[in-house]
Amino acid sequence: MNIAVVVKQVPDLVEGLEIDASGKAIDPGSVRHILSESDDHALEEALLIKERVGGRIEVFSLDMGEVRENLVMALAKGADRAALVNAGLDSIPNNHAAAQVFASLLRNLTFDLILTGVRAIDDLDGSLGGLLAGYLNLPYVGLVRKVEFPATPRTVVVQKEYPGGYAAELEVQLPALLGIQAAEQPPRYVPISRLRQMMKAAIVEELLVPVPRPHPLEIERLFKPEEGIGASMLSGTPEVIARQMADLLVEHRLVR
Amino acid sequence: MGALHTSSIPEKPGVLFPEIASAEDKFRACIQCGVCSASCPMGGFMDYPPRKAVRMLLEGRFDEVVASNTPWLCVSCHTCATRCPSQLKISDGLFPALRAAVIASGKQLDQDLQKALQNAYLYGNPMAGSPNKRADWAKTTGIPVPIISQLRRPVDVLWIVECYPSFQPRGQAISRLLARILYKLGVDFAILGREERCIGDCEWMAGEQGLFEMLIERNIEILGKYKFNKILMTDPHSYRTLRNVYPSLGGRYNVEHYVKFLADRLGQLKPLLKKKLHTTVTYHDSCCLGRKTEHYDEPRALLQAIPGLKLVEMIQNRESALCCGGGGSTIYLDRFIQEHAKDRLADRRILQAAATGAHSIAVACPFEPSRFEDAVKVTGNEANLKVKDIIELLAESMELV
Amino acid sequence: MNKDVLVVSEHFKGRLNEITLELLGKGRELAQARGGRLGVILLGHGVRAFVAELGAADVVWLADHAQLQEFDPEAYGTIILSKLKELPSALVLLGSTSAGLDLLGSLSARGDFPCVDNCMRLEARDGRIVATSQLYGGKVFAEVALPEETTLVAVVPGSFPSEVGRISGSPEVQLLTPPELVSSRITFRTLIEPPAWDVDITKAAILVAVGRGIQNADNLALAEELAEALGGTVCASRPVIDQGWLPLTRQVGKSGMTVKPKLYLALGISGAPEHIEGMKQSEMIIAVNTDPNAPIFGMAHYGTTEDALELLPLLTEEIRAASLKKAS
């Protein structure tokens, strides 16, 4: 089973993020990047598949942010190859551009499965997985939480989440692209000693691809939700706040 | 028991993570007396309590212990290591090695623990607090809390605040009070602010040697930039690690926990303790401040200096004090421990405190206020027992609150 | 852009999904404001009955075929794509849902249509349509001026009132003619039901919701006590469910339940968009979170930055006292 995992870097919300002077983009200086959470799950699912049915995992990411360490981490977890994809971009592109970059790369390679996270926190123009599947003309199923290998060759059976705890079991012909919602177990841990060892020795390739030509969306402005609009904030000691809340609930006839 | 204590001997991390083959030599000194298992507060819940675990190591059955529940039930209270007649490093050697083996095996980790370790790696603290906000607690202190990088001069006391006291609301409140006490005493101090990183005790005890080493390297590099006479600590775990372990990796500093720092200044402090507190207090010896570094008298001296305060002792005190259950990264394993252990150490300890009839249980470790306050609620002692850090009691008597 | 609006409808287990009504309501408003027509695409098997519920639309594009009984991203996508290519340029609205998102990217890439996701506001402004999307866990919003060509917009459920779109009628029906069998590399096998219900949180009038801020399973007991005092039920955001502290049946949010209680008390919940989607229609929302910048404060009615773990027992006390007072 040859699996490609496509991952991306997104701003780390723990550090906060600021809008730049133009008001139309995030200030890159204010941002630290981490691996998108559901991409981490996509990698974990790939590792679980490899453990179950054997195969090879290759991990690809745009050459942006502090991504090299994440790729080494993937190698430390058991991926067979990791590569930075350089498309001559100087800032994090939208998903259409990113999808075109990966499409031009993956079009010439043979994979049975391409996995990526089903969504990321910066998905303004749709998620990467669906777009990439469209450009590659591959079947696409998103919100996948389980991948199984039936007896039928060249197919895979996935569970796709629906609201309310429902899920659909779908049979998909390979090659296919899956948007992973959650791996079948939480992403595994890599001891820092192994990561540090690998940072010295691991090879992360750099691949060059043509610059994409997507349609950029016309962003009028970015803004943060207004503070103060929304909740009336209660303040005081915890005892005072508890009293105020109770009074509110009594007032609204919510106390029986 | 004093002669058998090894806490004053600097500990070498290399020795603490023995390649298990060579560790067997060290553990061959085990006489299988069973004092460790008998002293272990969690021994009854372990698949292989400490004595058995050592036996199995020597029999070449280390893998079985690694695969059992034993590695993650140790709360690093160090009672075993303190009492072992052969001075074996059990809680502070065998157990981190067991945990390191579990992590290396690729077995799924408890998710709370995994997140804590990942956060420590990414953000220098286990709770995913933004490093940029590490000194935010100081903004509402009311007196200046200088950041050493902004001071641009040597300082007498560099205060390493540590993670809980920087990010956790209860810890932050106590930090603010200590800042005001130091200010009142005219201490020339500063903090690291956003350069501060976890000292690494939890990570070390959790078996994450690579992360521990990384933190040590980082911290030695940062501390090397500044000139100070002494490092003041509020967290006993970090205090013990910085004092006992960092020297062997090149980080040699004059380190003091606040109980010693303030006890040394009692002459200056006493006249400031104006308000009579009219309260009975029992003191909880935390493991790292007690067994590991032997500060039994200083905290008691501080408490007894407070006018109107009567000190009573719990049935287990000083060297035999009962751990709160949060040490050595088990603060992140509450869910795991709950599944495997019938009762919780913090609850047991609070019942001991309540039995003394004291109004408050005094602590000097930042893990304890929330753990003990939970236990107070769970055991139904809200009406009769409060949890106070020594700093809070001092500040109350100094009318700084 | 041509003034027309086209809604891609969704249905599940024999009922139209509420998002479809939301999109019809908003779609009708936008189409009328710009002098265009509102169409809706309806695919499935035995779904003609839905046509009468789609009265807000001027035309229903219908494909009713056994092969389309269950949602198949490929088959549905192929039919919709060929229709989009045929029609003059339009604003195409889909739900930002499990089904909608399988279609969005694929249609956008294959048809070379621009697309926008996570949209929660749409308005006509100076002759253009402006979509506002929420990003970065709800911390930043983006306003996008939609281009003139056919553009796909995926809308977060709960963004628009569904009553506005709930109009009975008899819109014109046009048959979409797929070939006898649309080729598809995806085959539906079976539907997996959720685990047996322990409690139906969608029926609870009062919900005490816990999030990551509750820190560990032990603290759940505090929430249960408050719920008991209020006569309510405990529910949770996804991270709590993922940890195994509560069963799936208690999950509120995009992949869980959508609830509309009289009171939603959110404890230690930051307000990620996926969660908000599931509870934004609650009558009264009180949020407790130590982070003053938590997105949930943007949509709660009342809030406090007090520590939920400190506040819980105090609040339970107060409620019990208030109940006693009421009884006497």
Which tokens belong to A31?
């941002």
- Domain(s) of CATH 1.10.1060: residues in chain B: 2-105
pLDDT at B12: 46
Residue B142: pLDDT band with limits 50, 70, 90: very high
Predicted confidence at residue B335, as pLDDT, reads 74
Q: Assign domain C201-327 to its CATH architecture.
A: 3-Layer(aba) Sandwich (3.40)
- Chain A residues whose CB is inside 8 A of the B211 CB are 191-193
Q: CA of A197 to nearest chain B CA: how many angstroms apart?
A: 10
Neighbours of B120 (CB within 10 A): 27
> Would you identify the CATH topology of the domain A2-208?
Rossmann fold (3.40.50)
Instruction: Report whether pLDDT(C21) > 90.
Output: yes
Give the number of other CB atoms < 10 A from CB of residue A33: 18
Where are the domains positioned within chain C?
A: 4-175, 201-327
Secondary-structure class of domain B273-397 per CATH: alpha beta
Note the pLDDT of residue B20: 52
Q: How far is CA B153 from each of CA B138, B189, C219, rounded to the nearest angstrom?
A: 20, 11, 46
Those of residues 196-215 in A touching chain C at CB distance below 8 A are 215
Ranges A179-193, C70-84, C158-172, C209-223: which has the least confidence: C209-223
Confidence tier at B197 by pLDDT (50, 70, 90): very high
**Residue range B200-205: average pLDDT?**
92
Q: Give the least confident one: B57-61, C70-74, C254-258.
A: C254-258
Residue B237 amino acid letter: H
Q: Hey, is the C-beta of B338 within 8 angstroms of any chain C C-beta?
A: yes
| pLDDT for C180 | 63
Residue B275 has pLDDT above 70, yes or no: yes
Dist. CA B218–CA B224, nearest whole Å: 10
Whether residues A188 and B123 touch (CB distance < 8 A) is answered with no
> For B354-372, what is the mean pLDDT?
94
In angstroms, the separation between the Cα of residue A193 and the nearest Cα of chain B is: 4
Q: Do A189 and B103 touch (CB under 8 A)?
A: yes
Which tens digits make up the pLDDT trace of C94-107? Answer: 999 999 999 999 99
C-alpha–C-alpha distance, residues A157 and A149, integer Å:
6
Tell me the chain B residues in contact with residue A191 when contact means C-beta distances shorter than 8 Å: 100, 103-104, 208-211
Distances (CA, A) of B151 to B135, B178, B191, B227: 15, 20, 10, 11
Domain C4-175 has CATH 3.40.50.620: yes
What integer pLDDT is reported at residue C179 of this predicted model? Answer: 59
Compute chain C's Rg from CA coordinates.
22
CB C301 within 8 A of CB C284: yes
DSSP C251: B
pLDDT at residue C292, as a whole number: 84
Residue C190 burial (CB count, 10 A): 12
Binned at pLDDT 50, 70 and 90, residue A231 comes out as confident
User: What is the three-class DSSP state of B82?
Assistant: helix
Query: Between β-strands B279-283 and B255-257, what pairing exists: parallel, antiparallel or unpaired?
Result: unpaired
Question: For residue range B3-31, what is the model confidence (pLDDT) as tens digits?
Answer: 343 444 444 444 444 445 556 678 889 99
Query: Which pLDDT score, from 0 to 100, does residue C197 have?
Result: 67
pLDDT at A179 over 90: yes
Mean pLDDT for chain B overall: 90
pLDDT on residue C219: 86
Q: Is the pLDDT of residue A252 over 70?
A: yes
Contact yes or no for C243 and B377 at CB 8 A:
no
Domain boundaries, chain A: 2-208
Distances (CA, A) of C271 to A151, C87, C98: 43, 39, 20
Q: How high is the ipTM of this complex?
A: 0.90
A70-74, A224-228, C19-23, C27-31: segment of lowest average pLDDT: A224-228
In chain A, which among 108-147 make CB contacts under 8 A with chain C?
118-119, 121-135, 137, 139-143
The mean pLDDT of C266-272, rounded to a whole number, is 91
Per-residue pLDDT tens over the stretch A84-140: 999 888 777 899 999 999 999 999 899 999 999 999 999 999 999 999 999 999 999
Torsion of CA B81, B82, B87, B89, to 10 degrees: 20
C70: confidence class by pLDDT, cuts 50, 70, 90: very high
pLDDT tens digit sequence for C296-314: 988 899 999 998 988 999 9
Check residues B328 and B34 and name the one with the higher pLDDT. Answer: B34
DSSP-assigned letters across all residues of C150-215: -EEEEE-TTSS-SGGG-B----EEEE----SS---SEEEEEEEPPPPPS--GGG-SEEEEE-GGG-
Positions of CATH 3.40.50.1860 in chain B: 124-263
Which pLDDT belongs to residue B191?
A: 98
Q: Is A188 in Cβ contact with B130 (below 8 Å)?
A: no
Phi, psi of A179 (to 5 degrees): -95, 110
**Residue C234 pLDDT grade (very low, low, confident, very high; cuts 50, 70, 90):** very high
Q: Is the pLDDT reported for residue C326 higher than 90? A: no
pLDDT tens-place string over residues A34-75 = 999 999 999 999 999 999 999 999 999 998 877 899 999 999
Whole-angstrom Cα distance, residue A105 to residue A76?
24
Average pLDDT in chain C = 91
Which of C140, C242, C249 should be substituted to probe chain A, the one whose Cβ sees the most A Cβ atoms within 10 Å?
C140
With 80 as the cut, is the pLDDT of residue A27 above it? Answer: yes
pLDDT of residue C184 exceeding 60, the answer is: yes
- Whether C201-327 and C4-175 are alike in CATH topology: the answer is yes
Answer whether B123 touches A (CB < 8 Å).
yes
Higher pLDDT, residue C154 or B248: C154
Q: Which of B65, C176, B127, B397 is nearest to A14 (CA)?
A: B127
How many CA atoms does the CB half-sphere of C77 hold within 13 Å?
A: 29
Minimum-distance CB partner of B209 among A12, A15, A193? A193
Q: Which token pair is C161?
A: 């009132």
Instruction: State which H helix or E strand residue B177 sits in.
Output: helix B169-184
Decide if A193 and B210 are in contact by the 8 Å CB cutoff: yes
| Averaged pLDDT, C190-204 | 84
Beta carbons of C217 and B335 less than 8 Å apart: yes
The mean pLDDT value for A233-242 works out to 90
- Residue B142 has, within 13 A of its CA and on its CB side, a CA count of 13
Distance from C-alpha of B238 to C-alpha of B289, rounded to nearest angstrom: 10
Q: What fold is seen in the domain B124-263? A: Rossmann fold (3.40.50)
Instruction: Please tell me the distance from the alpha carbon of residue C224 to that of residue C222, in angstroms, as a whole number.
Output: 5
- CATH class given for the domain over B2-105: mainly alpha
Q: Which of A44, A47, A192, A199 is the best residue to mutate to test the B interface, defined by the most B CB atoms within 10 Å of its own CB?
A: A192
**Using CB atoms, which chains have 3+ pairs under 8 A with A?**
B, C
Confidence of residue C199 (pLDDT cuts 50, 70, 90): confident
Question: Is the peptide bond preceding residue C195 cis, with omega within 30 degrees of 0?
Answer: no
